[in-house]
Chain A
């Protein structure tokens, strides 16, 4: 038997005007966790799509399990034993766990009873206690991921590709994922682990390949990499630090929230100071997003007072929040932030249209200026103003949303997971922008599931658990463990 489960040799893929992959070669041995890191647009996803049969390669060879693969389709790849678990799960929410695992293959197990029995066995084999009769829609993100992994196992997969598996998991759930990854490795199953989060790469992976601009830059055992070396190779330049130096803040209250209550929130009180970055830490579903949505007027809240520089203001809808000088960069960029089929220009100007209008007529020339100004100021990489948003990378999309608000000069900017799914270089640029805003006398409320990010960027951190504020910390004077302890409740 061949020693490597997957050999990719000199694979090239060309898209009109772009070389997405340029003679990429990797070799994945059996029973290892193989990390692939790289910025957005480095070619990781293109490579995975070639392996799973979504794209066809233009040159090179792919040998899977000793068999040279010329062309494949996703279902053929699955049957050969290669599964991909995408960032967005491929599950049917209205069907049960068992049905999802064996979707379309009920006959192989002699009907539904056999299906559920087989599903139970597979779930047990990875130590999961999820009921096979539960609806997938009722599961948490981590349970859904277990179902996806079980689905991969049900195909007797020899190689499982995990694309950003941790993006929707809390740190507790991440630990469980780590345990399962180790179990799979012990069974001789190989895993390709793609992630932006270097901590996970160092924790789980045996071998790491760094990709940049469609090339393989380096491949070696993870123990021979240092964190800085990896980042440098990913971005192709030396980043002094992952985080810019922290901005200083003034002890002057800018925004005070008193007695904020909703169905999910209980008695939320906090103060945001001028020039401050306030971090909200908590598990997914703890109420972090609910707090800022209620504050922003996007969700209904009752009986609360909001004081802006000591003056009470009424915020019942996002428009009033905007008039009060608040801006929101929402959690789900694609669903809540952007209009993907629209141009970069419309996406940048959409919050400023009212200011650009006189007697209800929009000044289109001014609109062009604004868009161009933000594209230049934030060095947004786009072929033109009128390029459709959908063709920009995640980091540049996020910059467009930030630019949308910078144009309005907001005093308070709320950032919900501002760096989710964007690469190290773009992250740094977002951090620098955040510091610029607070240095100009604004203030920022930041939500992030990445603890290091919150600790390094915030002047003050509030922990949220079960819809209540459970603690307040100054990051310099607290350890990550203390903060997580309060956040878990």
Chain B
């Protein structure tokens, strides 16, 4: 009798703990079920394929942002980095060929990110507000450079003389029903996950986010870790930019607008704390799934764009609130 009781209690507490630890997953399940009942078209192959196509570049940006936030910082410059590396990549297809253009775009992203990190360490910016505004300023600079380079005109991949097959493949190619860009992303995600979990550099990022002073006094090169997280964010922004221009087949100097808040939303919803230190690359992907599905569901249910913005804001606030409650 007693044993039976304990067993029962055990499974029920375990169930509650599972739900507590996987709120995002639960939210996704509820969202999918409710929408599927109200609007059966939601689960149609056409809609799901559409979701997977419309997804990009958010997963890349959120992946980079996860590292910055785990490190205890934030990166608003992704807007400018996406825009600038997008237009530069497309502009270089003709002079360098598509492979050269892609490599240069990613290199440019890395350089912009490294520059962000260097400027932040040089300024001695160690608190969130400073980091927030410096990266915001860098974003304006990158966007302005993109505007200067393009004269605010739209660059079209289709106008390129040299072949642009990789872009087409990333934009619309599939293996079976799986988009090629998703496969590419899965590989990068795996690498970044292992990097965070297994390597010394990854651990140093998390120590830095946990307590910069303690990390510094135990021999962690905090400035280097800081440059590293921003470089990762830069590379991911450039990769995201490539997935974006591939999907929409154009590049403009403002194409990155809005991705910074969405990426932060995904990271926080995924359960990475804004206080830094703790987080998970894989959980951010659950956050991406929730944010994207939420948008799609609201479309399917016919909510207005304004209402959708309200919902998105509410989700962010709830996510931070839940995160703070967890500490108690």
Contacts and interface: CB of A to CB of B under 8 A. Distances in A.
Interface of A: 296, 298, 317-319, 322, 328, 330, 335-342, 346, 350-351, 353-354, 357, 360-362, 364, 404
Nearest to A335: B213
B8 to A, nearest CB: 19
Given A328-B217, A337-B214, A339-B215, 15 more contacts: A318-B217, A318-B218, A319-B219, A319-B221, A330-B214, A335-B213, A336-B213, A339-B211, A341-B327, A350-B220, A357-B200, A360-B201, A361-B198, A361-B200, A362-B200
B156 interface: no
Contacts, number: 69
B199 interface: yes
Interface centre among B199, B200, B327 (most CB of A within 10 A): B200
B256 interface: no
A360 B214 contact: no
B82 to A, nearest CB: 29
Interface in B167-221: 198-201, 203-204, 207, 210-211, 213-221
A341 B70 CA distance: 13
A339 B207 contact: yes
A337 to B, nearest CB: 6
B277 interface: yes
A335 B211 CA distance: 8
Interface of B: 198-201, 203-204, 207, 210-211, 213-221, 275, 277-278, 327
A342 B220 CA distance: 16
Contact of A342 (B198, B201, B216, B277): B277
B201 A318 contact: no
A319 B278 CA distance: 24
B224 to A, nearest CB: 10
Contact of B210 (A342, A353, A361, A362): A342
A89 to B, nearest CB: 21
Contacts of B203: 353, 362
Contacts of A342: 210, 277-278
Contacts of B275: 341
Nearest to B194: A361
Given A353-B203, A361-B198, A362-B203, A298 B277 contact: no
A357 B202 CA distance: 12
B226 to A, nearest CB: 15
B217 A298 contact: yes
A335 B219 CA distance: 16
A404 B200 CA distance: 17
Nearest to B207: A350
Contacts of B201: 360
Contact of A360 (B200, B216, B278, B327): B200
A354 B215 contact: no
Contact of B214 (A336, A353, A361, A362): A336
Nearest to A405: B218
Contacts of A404: 218
Contact of A318 (B198, B207, B219, B327): B219
A318 to B, nearest CB: 5
Contacts of A296: 217
Contacts of A351: 218-219
B200 A353 contact: yes
Nearest to B209: A339
Nearest to B278: A341
A76 to B, nearest CB: 23
Contacts of B277: 339, 341-342
A339 B210 contact: yes
Nearest to A352: B218
Contacts of B216: 298, 318
A356 to B, nearest CB: 8
* Closest 10 pairs (CB-CB, A-B): A339-B210, A319-B219, A351-B218, A357-B200, A339-B211, A322-B219, A336-B213, A350-B218, A360-B199, A360-B200
